[in-house]
Amino acid sequence: MTQQQVAPTPTSPASGHAVAVAPAIPRAGTARRSPLDMRSVRLSPEGTLGAWQQRNAGATIGHCIANLESSGVLDNFRRVIGESGAGYRGFVFADSDLYKTIEAVAWEIARTGTTEWDAWLDDVIALVARVQEPSGYVMSWIQGPHPEKKFAELEWTHEMYVAGHMIQAAVALSRAAGRDDLLTLARRFADLLDRRFGPGREEGICGHPEIETALVELYRHTGERRYLTLAERMIDLRGTGLLKVGGLGATYFQDHAPVREARDAVGHAVRQLYLNAGATDVHLETGDATLLEAMHAQWASVHHRKMYLTGAFGSRHRDEAFGDDYELPSDRAYAETCATIADVHWTWRMLLAAERPVAAYAETIERELHNALAAAVDSTCTRFFYANPLQLRPDRFSEENAPRDRQPWYSCACCPPNLARLVAQLGSYVASATAEELALHLFADAEIDVPAHLGGGTLRVATRYPDDGQVTLAVSGSAGLRIAVRVPSWSSGTTLDGDPVTPDEDGYLRLDLSGEATLALDLTPRWTRAHHRTDALRGARAIEVGPRVYCVEQVDLPDGVALDDVLVADGAVLSRQEQGGQVRVGLHGTVRAATDELYPAPGQSTETTEVEITAVPFASWGNRGSTAMRVWIPVV
């Protein structure tokens, strides 16, 4: 395993003591488990997740930095103070792309100790400081062309959303590198929000939730209770009709009902999921059981009735929104990348709040990482999908945020830097700890420093997962380790050192590990069917192997065979194959002869021919051209 440089240990601005480095670090005892310091989880570059982190560091982050310049994001700041004559470019919230990129850099510093972007950080943070007003306000779209709109149209201006990403970047940089220059600026903005919208003052919430979870994390990092209080207030005020919702309606903004009463996920998917992450954070710090009860209902709504098989969310292009229960069209799926990222953040917080680990939370994060998010970026890690449909028709036209091919950047460029910051922090989601045990949530080739209270030492996880189901666990430097290992719900016949095992009710297998043990997971290809109420998927099946969803691409079919004409028999035999280092699935299907009749007469015969089909991981689709693709295959 490649050794990595270790970043210096940062200190808390509140106490001056060393602090852990992770995206979410609950302070209160309400959290049932603790995240590990991300520096103590070292993903191997030979493993799937570790290799992705390497590509993210070597390509994606630099790509984002270059596009912040070419797209005008940095010029928007310069324009405010007369350092650029260019007009404002981009959406109202374009500043957030800078802050998300800074956060990605921060987590990369924590991961490797790199100094590659120090000079860039110096420049851009100094630029933000020059733009920031004495009050603490900083947002280039308002300060530039629209000063009259300052805090005047909270449903649209995204001021608090931008502040939220600024705060998250600042906390990350303080934790990762011990530098507080951006934190000083972010606290000024947060203090302004508190003076303006805190208890006893003006009532206001942002049309796009995000500030809530950022304020909670700022409280966690600084110890200033008023930041948590402000986050609580914003959660309490949502659903009271403060926003001028217009034609989109209150559900678009999740302003139709108080958070504690809203049981169904509705409206703009990213907004709902960020709001839920913030509400869960508030619960973790206050112990508010009514919030957690609502979040349990919301989690069921999102994941049991509105989640795509790939771990994507949002079935409607209009409003980038959740649809009705079981409304999951494959070809018109919007499935925004940022929605899945938001759900990773929320689901992780739900896991931290759970009395026991609850395997469903970790399994969901795993599904999202290996499917929707892995497919959102190409093999070079410099081209991205904004929308992630589960079917591409051969004649589908391109739309601005739903093109046929991945794009290097978007006019609404929220997804690329958001993905960059998530991938840089992947190690944070691998494991957690309680007073009694270390819980292993994600299977990844890694070294994990065991917390001292659990005996210290190192846990080595050796695996080629998800290409291979063998996971070897070895503890060293300790007399033993109590460990809870997730057993995936799809793995039948799981064994430990060759003996069958049955996990506990929460989906985790508990063992006292001393030395080495090998878990063997069943990666036999399997068929998956959708709930019978999912009209768009009735009469179709999907292929899965371990955590991966598979698809069929036109490029893998014989000449003259159209993907839209391919059918499979229900329960057709699936064979596991390896080609070029990729696990593929082979199967036998049929091709229905094309007809000019849109509605053939009853009893009209349709000729079929046989065809051999190859399915590939959904994560890899679109890297060989924008030919037709589908996850759900019609059944004969």
What CA–CA distance (Å, rounded) separates 327 from 307? 9
Distances (CA, A) of 527 to 15, 330, 546, 551: 54, 17, 11, 12
264 token code pair: 């169904």
CATH topology assigned to domain 433-520: Maltose phosphorylase, domain 3 (2.60.420)
Distances (CA, A) of 297 to 159, 237, 271, 312: 29, 20, 17, 19
Side by side, which strands form the sheet with 515-520? 41-43, 446-449, 458-463, 470-476, 515-520, 495-496, 499-500
Characterize the bridge pairing of strands 446-449 and 41-43. antiparallel
Q: Using pLDDT thresholds of 50, 70 and 90, give the confidence band for residue 14.
A: low
CATH 2.60.420 in the chain: give the residue spans. Answer: 433-520
Res 6: pLDDT: 43
378 token code pair: 């190409």
612 token code pair: 């051999």
pLDDT in tens, 532-541: 999 999 999 9
28 or 210, which is more confident: 210
Are residues 619 and 547 in contact, defined by beta-carbon separation less than 8 angstroms? Answer: no
pLDDT in tens, 427-460: 999 999 999 999 999 999 999 999 999 999 999 9
Res 3: pLDDT: 38
Statement: residue 5 has pLDDT above 50: no
How large is the average pLDDT for residues 348-360? 94
pLDDT in tens, 467-489: 999 999 999 998 899 999 999 99
Res 19: pLDDT: 66
CATH 1.50.10 in the chain: give the residue spans. Answer: 41-390+398-429
Res 11: pLDDT: 54
Side by side, which strands form the sheet with 508-513? 34-35, 431-433, 438-440, 481-486, 508-513
Statement: residue 464 has pLDDT above 60: yes
pLDDT in tens, 483-531: 999 999 999 999 999 999 999 999 999 999 999 999 999 999 999 999 9
Res 605: pLDDT: 66
Least confident of 30-34, 52-56, 204-208, 598-602: 598-602
Res 463: pLDDT: 98
Q: Using pLDDT thresholds of 50, 70 and 90, give the confidence band for residue 29.
A: confident
Res 12: pLDDT: 55
Q: Percent of the chain having pLDDT more than 90? A: 90
Res 575: pLDDT: 98
How large is the average pLDDT for residues 3-17? 48
**What does the mean pLDDT of the chain come to?**
95
Statement: residue 396 has pLDDT above 80: no
How large is the average pLDDT for residues 186-211? 98
Angle between the N-to-C axes of helices 159-177 and 181-197, in degrees from 0 to 180, rounded to the nearest 10: 140
Res 106: pLDDT: 98
pLDDT in tens, 79-128: 999 999 999 999 999 999 999 999 999 999 999 999 999 999 999 999 99
Least confident of 88-92, 130-134, 349-353, 393-397: 393-397
Res 395: pLDDT: 85
Distances (CA, A) of 552 to 68, 89, 370: 36, 39, 17
360 token code pair: 């469903």
439 bridge partner residues: 432, 484
The single residue listed with the structure tokens 């064994």 is 495
Res 1: pLDDT: 40
CATH topology assigned to domain 41-390+398-429: Glycosyltransferase (1.50.10)
What kind and span of H or E run contains 579? strand 575-579
What CA–CA distance (Å, rounded) separates 220 from 346? 17
What do you get for the CA distance between the two ends of the chain, in Å? 48
Q: Using pLDDT thresholds of 50, 70 and 90, give the confidence band for residue 13.
A: low
* DSSP code of residue 402: B
Statement: residue 218 has pLDDT above 80: yes
Statement: residue 20 has pLDDT above 90: no
State the DSSP string of 281-322.
Answer: HHHHHH--HHHHHHHHHHHHHHHHHSB-TTS-B--BTGGGB-
Res 603: pLDDT: 73
Res 4: pLDDT: 45
